[in-house]
A and B are shown apart, each in its own frame.
Chain A
Amino acid sequence: EVQLVGSGGGLVKPGGSLRLSCEASGFTFSSYGMSWLRQAPGKGLEWVSSISSSSNYRYYGDSVKGRVTISRDNVWNSLYLQMNSLRAEDTAVYYCARGDCSGGNCRLDFWGQGTLVTVSS
């Protein structure tokens, strides 16, 4: 059974940093691209960042570019998101998700349960 367990969220002051983690199990982690997405309270889904299976490619959304870094460890089957210079508008539930790009078009076929990040003084 595919499982993605996110952690690392919490309350942080504006300008602070946080590192989110996502532990994967039930599939060959090193074969899949992975992504982080977020959902602000009462709002829709927003893509944050993606990383290819071997970390060769990393992509970032405009709203976080320059402030976050995505990484992964294929030995420990884990995905990470280092978030710096946090702002109030970064307050959201952050989800990790597995990408399925078979057929050349990507979707997110499994999602973690989400971890809440609150940026407030």
Chain B
Amino acid sequence: SYVLTQPRSLSVAPGRTAIITCGGNKIGSTSVHWYQQKPGQAPVLVIYNDRDRPSGIPERVSGSKSGNTATLTISRVEAGDEADYYCQVWDTSSDHSYVFGTGTKVTVL
């Protein structure tokens, strides 16, 4: 199955930009989705199909992809953005499984 690699952690000052990467050798051939998980809460889908936002997600959250790396960008970071972020792809090669990245903890300074 896929292995999706993310940086373990990231610290960013309020008002600055957080950039979270997700690398995998098949990312270029499939869609990537992103989830935000705050402490003690269930994950929330924030980006789907590489760059689309579900309703209710602010425009300062965006996604992109280049080659085998997907990127989640959070502009004008706020205290409420402090959370774990996971990328995800859907693997149809074997068990139609949801494969998650290792997760990135974003700390707002």
Q: Taking chain A's interface residues, is the majority helix, strand, or loop, or is none over half, making it mixed?
A: strand
Contact B99 A47 (CB under 8 A): yes
Chain A, Cβ-Cβ closest to B41 = A113
Q: Are A45 and B31 in contact (CB under 8 A)?
A: no
Q: Mark A76-117, 1 if CB is under 8 A from B, else 0.
A: 000000000000000000010000110101111111111000
A50, A105, A110, A111 — most chain B CB neighbours (10 Å):
A105
Q: Which of B42, B48, B86, B96 meets A59, CB within 8 Å?
A: B96
Residue of B nearest to A52 (CB): B96
Number of A-B contacts (CB under 8 A): 68
Range of interface residues on chain B? 20 to 34
Q: How far is the CA of A46 from the CA of B1 in the complex (A)?
A: 13
Q: Which bucket holds chain A's interface residue count?
A: 20 to 34
* CB contact between A105 and one of B45, B49, B97, B103 (< 8 Å): that residue: B49
A46 touches B100 (CB 8 A): yes
Chain B residues near A59 (CB, 8 Å)?
A: 95-97
Give every chain A residue within 8 A of B51 (Cβ-Cβ): none
Residues of B within 8 A of A (CB): 30-31, 33, 35, 37, 41-45, 48-49, 54, 86, 88, 90, 95-103
A-B contact pairs, 9 of them (CB 8 A): A44-B86, A45-B88, A50-B96, A57-B96, A108-B43, A108-B88, A109-B48, A111-B42, A113-B42
